[in-house]
Structure 1
Amino acid sequence: MFAELAGLAQAQLGLYPTLPGPELAAAAREAVGVLDLVAAGVRVERSWSADGLDGEELSWSVGFGPRTHAYLLKPAGADGPLPGVVALHCHAGMKWAGKEKIADGPEGPSPEVRRLRDEIYGGRAFAGELARRGFAVLAHDVFVWGSRRFPLELPDGPLSEADRYDRAAKEHEHVVAKQCAALGTSFTGVVAGEDLAAAAYLRSRPDVGLVGCAGLSGGGARAALLGAFDPEMSAVVVTAMTSTFREMLAAHVPLHTWMFWPPGLPRLGDWPDLVAARAPRPLMVQYAMRDRLFPEDGMRRAHTIIGDRYAQAPDAYEAVFADVPHSFDVPMQERAFDWLGAHLKG
């Protein structure tokens, strides 16, 4: 059924055209309903020093819902402008926690977060590891995660409160997506708006210079959207979140968040077209070649599309093909950190 529907849609709607990058980014931003948000009333909730880092827990308002909380991490004693990175937490079916998946506060990780890190981050809080290498790293909660989560009725059972919340939140995401659509925006558009506000805040700090971003999986989707929609984003790392849509139809669609299916995008271009819409500005895409969430042919076709978009600036696009399952493991992190340093520390 879906194969026949795909054929009709392609014939009648002209899916996946090849628009120029700036035109595609502008049209996609309009199609997904990206909200113009600002991180207002920023305040420092607490600060600490531990494990070679100085940390601040910040909070701000984007104009609706509970205040966004974020961690700002820097090398201990750093006093000059540092290159900045917006570290974007993943989806991973875990909405109880947001920033804590990739960054430690003074309390350290919960058992649920530690379990997740062991599964997909090589056991590390990558935002802290990046900060130790001379960066100012901002890790913030985004719409429906962590401090921005919805109050939900939790199912009974022997699981922890966090795990029970995540079960309830899984069934709630489609409600969020419908509500956003009814308001003329989308789940993608709200998340992108909050990330754009966070990036603008980080750039506004006098202790921060050039700013890039990086994320795994759902965080990789967020990084791709920031790269496309923020002309001041100097370098972008998208990890384990790049494939063509057309190769994912049917078998892989159920595996992904609504955030990965921006409304209207297929009539403007394919997902890798949007990832590469920032060309010729620096882009790293890391492909996990044993990723069950993406077909190999879709990843390789995405690489070809992105390479074509970067034909006039081939050195600005770096592709990493890692023989790993869905993850941002330590070798992938280290390669991304070195690449970010090369593009942000100059």
Structure 2
Amino acid sequence: MSQPQYHDLGIFSDWVNEAARQQSLFPIADPGPATQQRVREVLGFCEGNETPLGAEVNHQWEKDGLVGEAISWSVGYGPRTEAWLLKPAHAKDPLPGIVALYEHGGFKYLGKEKIAIGPTDPLPFMPNWWDKYYGGRPFANALAHAGFAVLIHDPFLWGSRRFPQNVMPEWTAQAFTGLQDSNWLNYGIPYEIGLYNFAASQHEHQIEKLCTVLGTTLAGVVSHEDRIAVNYLRSRPDVDARHIGCVGLSGGGARAALLQATHPHMHATVVVAMMASYAEMLNRDVTRHTWLLFPKGWSRFGDWPDLAACRAPSPLLVQYNLADELFAQEAMQAAHDRLTHHYQTVGCAEAYQGEFYAGPHKFDLAMQQSAFKWLATQLK
């Protein structure tokens, strides 16, 4: 049998076979308590207190048929988490709650502002961002108009929880050169924000090293903070704690999959453009992605779709883009087949739904419409 050649490995393509000889790679991890516990052990940061500390409402507003609140809380380290809560104006009964998770996008300077409009007008360049990824609109506001209480918060590394630029001087120096060759400025994004984003993308590798030294993973830390946000949402009297869901594109889809795997009260999850099997990603797709997709050591125990399905039959919708520049079609199809197998195995095939759309990496209006309808069916 000839040795497969991998674009990103070149003359070391045979390393893959040796890794598989040394240990099991991507074995099927069946849904259930054993896999759920293994996921938590691999992620780290899954055993501590996950109650938001000192939560407070800092500001309230009503605009465009929605009521909004600016909220903050502490996770116990670093600056306070800032969040927005959006819901329909004049809603009387507790609403199903959704945690809306924004894309990674290499864009860490901002957080919640990437998918929502808060009390003030959006920054001038945000419509260009929404055109590229979200069908021209901030989808969190649209989700609130659809009848949900929607929480949009900043986790570790983003927005109000980002690292200051002065702690990454070596990456900033490289960014001065690299920014000129990137597409950051094409969106009308100010130079200083593009510079920060470029440096922060490189800084993420340093953060993953620090996570390893601290016995955790970036995926584990971010998911820990996302679970704290879910617990805040569930604590509100205007939210029906029995009906909680989450939805996210790309890096937000990775966070959604991690929430689906680790939060026992996540009742419906939508993963958009962030589902693929590791083996089929090896050729050229691994290097394009965030560490959120690759919790250290998980591939010894299972594949990415196994993690997402470990709480099956908990309802899961995955949306795939057939021309997604970040994933090969065979990687997405393999993940879809594996998820289908898991949900069939637990006797609830209908609880998993996979949808395939034409076009590139995105969460456009047609995808949003389908996702919102599915969430309403699951949570109302």
Please state which band the TM-score falls in when normalised by the shorter chain: over 0.9
CA shift at 1:328, angstroms?
0.3
Flag the structure with larger Rg: 2
Aligned to 1:163: 194
CA shift at 1:107, angstroms?
1.4
- d(CA) in 2 for partners of 1:34, 1:25: 14
Does the CA contact (< 8 Å) of 1:68 and 1:141 recur in 2?
yes
Moved over 4 A (4+): 154-159
- d(CA) in 1 for partners of 2:39, 2:31: 10
- The residue type equivalent to 2:349 in the other structure is P
- d(CA) in 2 for partners of 1:202, 1:108: 25
- d(CA) in 1 for partners of 2:192, 2:93: 42
Between 1:8-17 and 1:335-344, the stretch displaced more is: 8-17
CA shift at 1:108, angstroms?
2.5
- d(CA) in 2 for partners of 1:128, 1:166: 25
- Determine which of 18, 21, 24 is the counterpart of 1:14: 24
- d(CA) in 2 for partners of 1:95, 1:113: 14
Question: TM-score normalized by structure 1?
Answer: 0.97
- d(CA) in 2 for partners of 1:39, 1:101: 23
Does the CA contact (< 8 Å) of 1:97 and 1:113 recur in 2?
no
- Give the secondary-structure state (helix, strand or coil) at the position aligned to 1:246: helix
- Give the secondary-structure state (helix, strand or coil) at the position aligned to 1:247: helix
CA shift at 1:52, angstroms?
0.7
Deviations 1:297-329 (A, max 9, x none): 010011100000010111111111001200000
Aligned to 2:293: 260
- Tell whether 2:51 aligns with 1:51: no
Give the gaps of 5 or more residues in structure 2. 1-10, 167-171, 180-184
- The residue type equivalent to 2:237 in the other structure is P
Aligned to 2:366: 331
Aligned to 1:183: 214
Aligned to 2:43: 32
Q: 1:119 to 1:24 in 2, by over 3 A?
A: same
- Tell whether 2:114 aligns with 1:81: no
Identical pairs, percent: 50
- d(CA) in 2 for partners of 1:147, 1:285: 29
Q: 1:72 to 1:234 in 2, by over 3 A?
A: same
- Tell whether 2:341 aligns with 1:321: no
- Determine which of 225, 231, 235 is the counterpart of 1:204: 235
Does the CA contact (< 8 Å) of 1:2 and 1:250 recur in 2?
no
Q: How many residues align?
A: 345
- Give the secondary-structure state (helix, strand or coil) at the position aligned to 1:20: coil
- Give the secondary-structure state (helix, strand or coil) at the position aligned to 2:245: strand
Between 1:27-36 and 1:271-280, the stretch displaced more is: 27-36
- d(CA) in 2 for partners of 1:115, 1:254: 26
- d(CA) in 1 for partners of 2:320, 2:292: 19
- The residue type equivalent to 2:236 in the other structure is R
Q: RMSD value over aligned CA atoms?
A: 1.4
- d(CA) in 2 for partners of 1:224, 1:172: 24
Give the gaps of 5 or more residues in structure 1. none
Does the CA contact (< 8 Å) of 1:235 and 1:344 recur in 2?
yes
Aligned to 1:344: 379
